[in-house]
Amino acid sequence: MTSSARVRSVLYLPASNARAVEKARALPCDLAVLDLEDAVAPEMKVEARQAAVAAVRAGGFGPRLGVRINGLDTPWGADDLAALRDAPVALIVAPKVDNAAAVQALSQAMAPGVELWAMIETPRALVDLAAIAGAGGALGGLMLGVNDLAKDLRTGPSPDREPLKPWLAAVVAHARANDLVAVDGVFNRIKDGAGFAAECAQGRLYGFDGKSLIHPSQIEAANAAFGPSEQEIDWARKVVAAFAAPEAQGQGVIRIEGEMAERLHLAQAEALLAGL
């Protein structure tokens, strides 16, 4: 049940921070996610849940608004889902989804029509990735939780995420195999613009649809990195025009400016232009 909406920039906001939530209504991120999990201290969980429900009902966040709940194995997860069931939320993000049974339990507890994204952030989730991605239900996307995953895998620091590269590729592959959105993990160094841009480029190279963000300053770069460049748009238009020409009728492969283009390139070009 992949959403057709763009998810280049997925910004997490602490639901307990009223100022940040209000500011988010005017931000150009593709999706805002009110966080009830990592960004909220245990003693603030109930208050944050109430604030999230109020914010969802008030609206004004652009195309879509999501909420990241606490895990169902915590004291707060079931109450989070119950509180959100009657609120007009479009998306629920579930942390530390370890198996297909968790996807089914979450889907059954959610209101009809609400989309579920499962966070892949534990070694167990990696082992059961195929089953999780194929679990169906309300599942519409996979999100890579790089911080928890690196901690539990006990990987060392690496500027290009060398220890995580197999899992970057695996998450995208399983998302594509099941028609799911794939969203890359967060980048922690807020003031490192060059590092963030490099990691966005890496994420797009691996096939992710967008990136999880922890600060509004990251939105513009993420939107640029995961959106088509002017050169890509121009090439897509040339491909469509070339295949529409009379001499291309019935042809499976044609030459465009010295490059060979197949019908699969036409489909890619049409999809790119349709998303503008």
Burial zone of 256 (CB within 10 Å; 0-12 exposed, 13-18 middle, 19+ buried): middle
How far, in whole angstroms, is CA 201 from its chain's centroid?
A: 15
Q: Where are the alpha helices (DSSP H) in the chain?
A: 18-24, 45-58, 77-84, 100-109, 123-127, 129-133, 146-153, 165-177, 193-206, 219-226, 230-244, 263-274
Q: What pLDDT is recorded for position 258?
A: 86
Domain of residue 84 covers 9-226
How many domains does the chain contain in total?
A: 2
pLDDT of residue 77: 95
| Same-domain check for residues 176 and 64 | yes
Does one domain contain both 76 and 48?
yes
Q: Is residue 146 part of a domain?
A: yes
pLDDT at 271: 82
- The answer on 207 and 189 residing in a single domain is yes
Phi/psi at 121 (nearest 5 deg)? -145, 20
Query: What's the rounded mean pLDDT across residues 29-55?
Result: 94
* Amino acid type, 92: I
- Higher pLDDT: 111 or 64? It is 111
Total-model pTM? 0.88
Other beta carbons within 10 Å of 230: 7
Is 1 inside any structural domain?
A: no
Computed over every residue of the chain, the mean pLDDT equals: 93
When pLDDT is averaged across residues 85-91 and rounded to a whole number, the result is 91
pLDDT at 273 > cutoff 90: no
Same domain, 234 and 212: no
User: How does pLDDT run across 89-147, given as a tens digit for each residue?
Assistant: 999 999 999 999 999 999 999 999 999 999 999 999 999 999 999 999 999 999 999 99
217/259 same-domain check? no
Instruction: For residue 2, tell me if it sits in a domain.
Output: no
Least confident of 29-43, 179-193, 212-226, 259-273: 259-273
For residue 4, what pLDDT is reported? 55
Q: Amino acid identity of 60? A: G
Q: Length of the chain, please?
A: 276
**Measured between alpha carbons, how far is 48 from 44 in angstroms, rounded to an integer?**
6
